[in-house]
C-alpha cells in the first residue's frame, strides 16, 4: 500500500506526538492535503518546512520556516497565525517528544528527503523600521488615535489626530519651546510648529532623519521654528524646555539605562513643564524577543514608578490599546497592497519578517498581551 502524501503524514505525526488536533489545513509540495478543510492553510514549500514543524514546532521553528520561504499561510494570515499561536502554546505545555516518538519523526524526515543544515533567518537589520510605502503622509511609525469609524477616515487622519492630542495634552501655545526625543521623521515637531506656533526641536541618532526633517521644514516654511539635531538626549545642554515628548522611544532604552533616561527627561523640562510619553508594553509571541531583541518593553506600572523616582508627578494615564490594533491593520493592508514593491526593495525575507511582526503584534494588542499608554507627567 503506497504511503499517504506528505501533508497527511506531517499532520498525523504532529497530532500523535504532541497530542492535539492540527488547527488549520495543510498542503504540501507533492499536492497532498490534510487538516481542517475550511479557513487558512499552512503550505509546505519544501522538506525544510517539515523539519521545522516536526523538530522545532515552537515559535523559533515556525518563524524560521516562514521567513526563509519554506512555509506559507494561504488565506487570512492573521487568523492562520492565531492558530499557530495556539499550536505553540500547546507544544510548550506538552514538552519535548517522548523517546518512543523519535523513530516516527526520524522516519518521516527520511521519507520526505530532508537534509543539510537549516536555513538561517536574516535578522541582522532592525525589523521595526517599516518602509515608507506602508506609511501615511506623516511617516509616523507609532500608534494613531482613531476618532471616527467613517469610510473616509484613514490612517493619515488618525495620525494627525494623535499629533494634535499630544499637543493639546502638553498645552502647547505660541512662543513655547517643545523637545521631541527620538523625533523620527519629524511628524510631531512639524505639526506642533505649524499648528501651535511653538519652537520645536527634534533629536535623533539618524543622519538620514535629520536631513529629511530639515527638508520638510524648509518645504513648509518652518525652518525658523523647527530644529533637528543628531545628538543623544543626555548631551543636550542649554535652557530647559516648556514641554518634552517621548513617542514610542523608551522601548529602545535598556532596563539598565531607563532610570537615567527618565532623569534626563526631567532635567530637560523647566519646573512646571510637562512630559508626554507614549510607550508600549508587553510583546508578541513570535516577534517579541525573537525578531526584535533590541526592544525593551516594560509594564506600564514599572514606567510610572521610574518616572516618579526621577522626580516627575504623574498627571494622567490613557490606554490606547484598541487604537494600535487599527493602526497595525492599516499598515498590514498597505504592506499587502505594496508587497511586490517592498520585496523588490528589501528582499523577500525582510518583507516576510515585517508581515509576521505586524500580524503577531496586532493579535497581541487585540488579546491584551500588548498595550500602549500615553502618560502625562509634570516636573514639580
- Predicted TM-score (pTM) of this structure: 0.90
Q: Does 137 share its domain with 252?
A: yes
Cβ pair 118, 48 in contact under 8 A: yes
Residue 146: predicted pLDDT: 98
Residue 57: predicted pLDDT: 63
Cβ pair 13, 104 in contact under 8 A: yes
| Count of domains forming the chain | 2
Q: For residues 307 and 19, which has the higher predicted lDDT (pLDDT)? A: 307
Residue 125: predicted pLDDT: 45
Tell me the residue range of the domain where 34 lies: 6-112
Q: Does 238 share its domain with 152?
A: yes
Q: Does 153 share its domain with 274?
A: yes
Q: Is pLDDT above 90 for 185?
A: yes
Q: Is pLDDT above 80 for 287?
A: no
Spatial distance between the Cα atoms of 167 and 181, rounded to a whole number of angstroms: 14
81-105 burial, b at 16+ Cβ within 10 Å, e below that, comes to: bbbbbebbeebeeeeebeeeeeebb
Residue keyed to cell 516648556: 242
Q: Is pLDDT above 90 for 285?
A: no
CATH number of the CATH domain containing 216: 3.40.50.150
Spatial distance between the Cα atoms of 115 and 11, rounded to a whole number of angstroms: 20
Q: Does 217 share its domain with 352?
A: yes
Is 118 contained in some domain? no
Chosen domain end from 77, 112, 147? 112
Residue keyed to cell 499550536: 87
Q: Is pLDDT above 90 for 267?
A: yes
Is 90 contained in some domain? yes
Q: Which of 20-24, 96-100, 131-135, 189-193 has the lowest mean pLDDT?
A: 96-100
Name the range with the highest mean pLDDT among 47-51, 125-129, 220-224, 345-349: 220-224
For 33, other C-beta atoms within 10 Å of its C-beta total 15
Please state, in angstroms and as integers, the Cα–Cα distance from residue 246 to each residue in 237, 250, 261, 277, 287, following that order. Answer: 18, 7, 10, 5, 23
- 284: which 3 cell numbers? 508578541
Is 127 contained in some domain? no
User: Which helix (H) or strand (E) segment is 213 a member of?
Assistant: helix 207-219
Cβ pair 36, 63 in contact under 8 A: no
Q: Is pLDDT above 80 for 295?
A: no
Nearest-CA neighbor of 191 among 121, 140, 253, 257? 140
Contacts of 69 (CB under 8 A, 6+ apart): 45, 348, 349, 352
CA quadruple 260, 261, 263, 268: dihedral positive or negative?
positive
Report pLDDT digits (tens) over 93-113: 887 788 888 888 888 888 776
Is 43 contained in some domain? yes
Nearest-CA neighbor of 183 among 223, 142, 130? 142
Amino acid at each position: 500500500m503506497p504511503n499517504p502524501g506528505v501533508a497527511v503524514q506531517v499532520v498525523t505525526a504532529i497530532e500523535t506526538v504532541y497530542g492535539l488536533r492540527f488547527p488549520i489545513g495543510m498542503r504540501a509540495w507533492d499536492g497532498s492535503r490534510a487538516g481542517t478543510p475550511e479557513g487558512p492553510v499552512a503550505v509546505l514549500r519544501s522538506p525544510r518546512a517539515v523539519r521545522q514543524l516536526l523538530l522545532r514546532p515552537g515559535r523559533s521553528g515556525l518563524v524560521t520556516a516562514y521567513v526563509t520561504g519554506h512555509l506559507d499561510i494561504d488565506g487570512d494570515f492573521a487568523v492562520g497565525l492565531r492558530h499557530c499561536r495556539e499550536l505553540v502554546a500547546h507544544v510548550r505545555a506538552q514538552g519535548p517528544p517522548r523517546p518512543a516518538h523519535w523513530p516516527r519523526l526520524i522516519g518521516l524526515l527520511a521519507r520526505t528527503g530532508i537534509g543539510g543544515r537549516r536555513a538561517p533567518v536574516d535578522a541582522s537589520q532592525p525589523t521595526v523600521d517599516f518602509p515608507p510605502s506602508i506609511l501615511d503622509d506623516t511617516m509616523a511609525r507609532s500608534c494613531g488615535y482613531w476618532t471616527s469609524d467613517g469610510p473616509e477616515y484613514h490612517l493619515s487622519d488618525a495620525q494627525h489626530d494623535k499629533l494634535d492630542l499630544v499637543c493639546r495634552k502638553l498645552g502647547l501655545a505660541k512662543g513655547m519651546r517643545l523637545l521631541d526625543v527620538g523625533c523620527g521623521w519629524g511628524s510631531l515637531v512639524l505639526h506642533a510648529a505649524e499648528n501651535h506656533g511653538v519652537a520645536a526641536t527634534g533629536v535623533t541618532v539618524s543622519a538620514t532623519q535629520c536631513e529629511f526633517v530639515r527638508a520638510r521644514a524648509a518645504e513648509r516654511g518652518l525652518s525658523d521654528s523647527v530644529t533637528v539635531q543628531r545628538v543623544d538626549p543626555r548631551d543636550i545642554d542649554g535652557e530647559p524646555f516648556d514641554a518634552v515628548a517621548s513617542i514610542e522611544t523608551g522601548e529602545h532604552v535598556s532596563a539598565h539605562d531607563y532610570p537615567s533616561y527618565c532623569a534626563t527627561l526631567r532635567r530637560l523640562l523647566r519646573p512646571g513643564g510637562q512630559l508626554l510619553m507614549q510607550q508600549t508594553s508587553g510583546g508578541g509571541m513570535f516577534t517579541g524577543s525573537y525578531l526584535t531583541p533590541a526592544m525593551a518593553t516594560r509594564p506600564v506600572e514599572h514606567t510610572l514608578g521610574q518616572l516618579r523616582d526621577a522626580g516627575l508627578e504623574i498627571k494622567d494615564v490613557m490606554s490606547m490599546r484598541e487604537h494600535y490594533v487599527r493602526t497595525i491593520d492599516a499598515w498590514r493592508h498597505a504592506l499587502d497592497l505594496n508587497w511586490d514593491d517592498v520585496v523588490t526593495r528589501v528582499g523577500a525575507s525582510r518583507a516576510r519578517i515585517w508581515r509576521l511582526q505586524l500580524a503577531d503584534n496586532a493579535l497581541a494588542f487585540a488579546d491584551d498581551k500588548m498595550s500602549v499608554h500615553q502618560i502625562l507627567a509634570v516636573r514639580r
